[in-house]
Amino acid sequence: MVALFAAALAATAAERPMVDWVIPALATNQPQTPEQAEEGRKSGRKLPPPEVLQPSLDAALPPYQPRKEKLVATFHGGASDVLSVLVQQWFEKFRTYHPEVQLSISPPYAGSLGAAELVKEKLDFVFVSRELRPDDIKDFRAKFGYGPLSIPVCGGSYRTFGALDAVAFFVNRDNPIEKLSFDQIDAIYSSTHLRGGKTALKWGDVGLGGDWADKPIKAWGIKPWNGFEEFVRQRVLSAGGKRGEWRDDISFEKLVFPMAKRVADDRYAIAYSGIAYLDQGVRVLPLAADAGDAPQAATYENVALATYPLSTLRPQQGRAAGGARSRHLHPAARRAVPDQPNPARTVALP
C-alpha cells in the first residue's frame, strides 16, 4: 500500500494539471509623449510605486565588506532614464563606505547613448535597461579587442509599465495549449532553428490535437530592432554562440502596445510582450527553458525568484575585459561590483 501511494505521489509531481488564473486585464498604457521622454532624458523616470508583495533579501548573500585601505578614484558613467534614480541611490550608499571615490552619472539619460559613449571612451560605465544592440558590441570589440564586461545588477519589475517588466508569451483564450518550451517557441518564430527543431506552422506541430491539429499558427512579433525582440531573440532563438533570426513571414508590429489585442482578436494567434502590456483577455503560458524543466508560470513569485525563464535582468556595462577583471578594473571599481553575480540573487522588484 505504501509503495502504491508513493508511486501515485511521484506520478502527480511529474505531470500536475495546470491551473488557469482568470484575472482582469491591466489598464491600457500609452506611449510616452515627447515631453515625457525629454523629461526622462533630463532627470530620469521616477521610481514606480512598489508592488504590495515584496521579495525578501536572499539570506545567502554575504554582507558587503568595505576595504580597510583608502580608495581614491573618479568614474563617470551613463544610465538609461529607467535606472538613473536607482543608480544615484546606490552611489549615495557607496559613498558612506568610500567617500573619496567619486561615482557620477549625468543626463541625457539613455542606455543607447551610453553604450556608444563607452566606445568613444567618454564614459567608464553605463547602466542600460535593455540588451545591447549587436552594433554596440561590434563597435566595442573593434575599438578595444574584447567584449564589454556585463554585470547583472538588478532585476526588472513584474508588470510595471516602463520599468523593465517580465516578458510573456500568450495565446487566444480559446486556445487549449497549456505550456510551451523554448524549443517550441524557436520552432514557431525562428528561421535558423539553432535549438535543433523544425518549423512549426500548425498548432499540431506543438502538440495540440483534435480540431486544433491542422489550424495555422499566426505568430506576431515586434519589429527589429526593439528591446523586447532583442531580449527574446537572445534568450530563446540564439544558442551555441550563434545569433538566431526571425522567420520572414511573422507579422510584425513596430511597437509592443497592440500585441495583446492582436491575439485577443485572432483565435489562432500567439504573441509576446511585457506583462505590463496585457490589456486584453488572453492566456499567458507557462514556459520551460530547457528539456526536462518544469514549466514556470509568469507569476509574481516566479519572477521575483527569477525561476520564470523570461524574467528580466538589467546589466551594468563597462570597459573592462570579461574574464580579466583583475587586470582591467581599478580597485575602487572592483569594490562596486560583485565578483560572481548570481542572477537569482540580484533581482529587485519595484
Q: What average pLDDT does range 322-350 have in this prediction?
A: 43
- Tell whether 237 and 332 lie within a shared domain: no
CATH number at residue 330: 3.40.190.10
Residue scoring higher pLDDT (198 or 330): 198
- Tell whether 277 and 331 lie within a shared domain: no
- Tell whether 180 and 260 lie within a shared domain: yes
* Alpha-helical runs (H) found in 30-78: 34-43
- Per-residue pLDDT band at 192 (split at 50, 70, 90): very high
- Tell whether 180 and 296 lie within a shared domain: yes
DSSP at 224: S
Residue 17 is assigned to a structural domain of this protein: no
- Tell whether 193 and 295 lie within a shared domain: yes
Q: Which amino acid would we find at residue 40?
A: G
- Tell whether 91 and 171 lie within a shared domain: no
Residue 105 is assigned to a structural domain of this protein: yes
**3-class secondary-structure state, position 199:** coil
Residue 28 is assigned to a structural domain of this protein: no
Phi-psi region of 207 (alpha: psi -120 to 50; beta: other; left: phi over 0): left
Structural domain tally of the chain? 2
- Tell whether 224 and 297 lie within a shared domain: yes
- Cell 534568450 sits at which residue? 235
260-316 pLDDT, tens digit each: 999 999 999 999 999 999 999 999 999 999 989 999 999 998 998 889 999 987 666
Query: How far is Cα 242 from Cα 17, in angstroms, rounded to an integer?
Result: 36
pLDDT at position 330:
59
- Tell whether 193 and 230 lie within a shared domain: yes
Q: Which amino acid would we find at residue 10?
A: A
- Tell whether 177 and 94 lie within a shared domain: no
Residue 11 is assigned to a structural domain of this protein: no
Mean pLDDT lowest for which of 73-82, 150-159, 198-207, 324-333? 324-333
pTM listed for this prediction: 0.80
Q: Which three cell numbers stand for residue 167?
A: 516578458
Could you list the residue range(s) of the whole structural domain that residue 268 is in?
Answer: 166-305
Is residue 18 scored above 70 in pLDDT? no
Whole-number percent of the chain with pLDDT over 90: 48
- Nearest CA among 265, 178, 176, 182 for reference residue 220: 265
- Tell whether 208 and 234 lie within a shared domain: yes
pLDDT at position 31:
87
Query: How far is Cα 216 from Cα 206, in angstroms, rounded to an integer?
Result: 11
How does strand 287-288 pair with strand 180-181? Answer: parallel
